[in-house]
Amino acid sequence: MQKRTLGSSGLEVSAIGLGCMGLSFAYGPAMEKSAAISLIRSAYESGVTFFDTAEVYGPFTNEELLGEALAPFRNEIVIATKFGFKNGNVAQGLDSHPDTIRAVVEASLKRLKTDRIELLYQHRVDPNVPIEDVAGAVKQLIEQGKVKHFGLSEAGVQSIRRAHAVQPVTALQSEYSLWWREPEKDILPVLEELGIGFVPFSPLGKGFLTGAIDASTSFAKDDFRNVVPRFNQDNRKANAQLVEVLGHIADGKGATRAQIAIAWLLAQKPWIVPIPGTTKPHRLEENNGAASIELNSADLTAIESALAHITVVGERYPAHLQQSVDR
């Protein structure tokens, strides 16, 4: 697995990371613990050194899982986790007060069985706490050695600039993929200007770009996609054209749809590090295989042309969660 550096920070990670949320949270029942540990360790053995978690995933259980799974090779990997919700519960709303940040970090360190967090993200921008105060609190934690790098998630341009002026931001994590390209308009230029890396979550469109989901697919009752407008039956049917075109491109490269979708992200900028998640060992292997697929300028032009007339329909979040995305 090749390595990449997130922006100008010097934080080196594998070109593809592992998003660990789905092992414990949001996509149906949590994985059985021993199987989840095995998957995480398989990721490490295949070259993944960048693992993404958060206190809200579970809540708390995902960090505990990573702490146990990664302990044997803790010094060889990078852990990213997040703060920003009251009591680690999305339903209770946002809380990025400095005292909360400090308390969350202490608790996360214990769950992760570690003495430092390489990358600490604010999970969502809190409109009730000045971003300068958030950045200042993380700056203190960096000075204490408990945190190494500061990140933001789903932050808008002004929040990024204001935070970066207090404590340099190493990475922004937001959704970005062939079916959600909004960051290209305003976010990517600012990240390039400031020397900030980009960590796309949901690089496979929450599974849709793999081709494994169609209009007839049914999700587990506690699967987050049940409430995502983009995944209602009509929208899945309408968005199938994107998956079909992606399949033709993949066939031409001797790859899978998932591999082309991830390789496309890697080809956009050298400081982009996608973090696909999976619960299946064969999908882990498939996703990581994208790192060895080279898309040249002709390939990228062909992809643009093929997708130019396709409009993806449906909001990516239900209304109550859309409100927490910073603009």
Catalytic residue among 57, 121, 176, 317: 57
Strands (E), the chain: 3-6, 11-14, 18-19, 50-52, 78-83, 117-122, 147-153, 169-175, 197-201
What is the rounded distance in angstroms from the CA atom of residue 198 to the CA atom of residue 176? Answer: 9
Nearest to 88 by CA among 62, 116, 50: 62
Tell whether the torsion through CA atoms of 143, 148, 154 and 156 is positive or negative: positive
Tokens of 265: 């992200």
Tokens of 155: 């932050």
Contact 95, 55 (CB under 8 A): no
Distances from the Cα of 27 to the Cα of 87, 117, 223, angstroms: 21, 26, 4
Q: Is the peptide bond before 59 cis (omega within 30 degrees of 0)?
A: yes
Establish whether 57 is a catalytic residue. yes
What is the rounded distance in angstroms from the CA atom of residue 106 to the CA atom of residue 211? Answer: 41
Q: Rg of the chain's alpha carbons, rounded to an integer?
A: 19
Exposed/middle/buried for 97, CB within 10 Å: 0-12, 13-18, 19+? middle
Strands 117-122 and 147-153: parallel
Contact 168, 143 (CB under 8 A): no
What is the rounded distance in angstroms from the CA atom of residue 58 to the CA atom of residue 31? Answer: 11
> Catalytic residue positions?
57
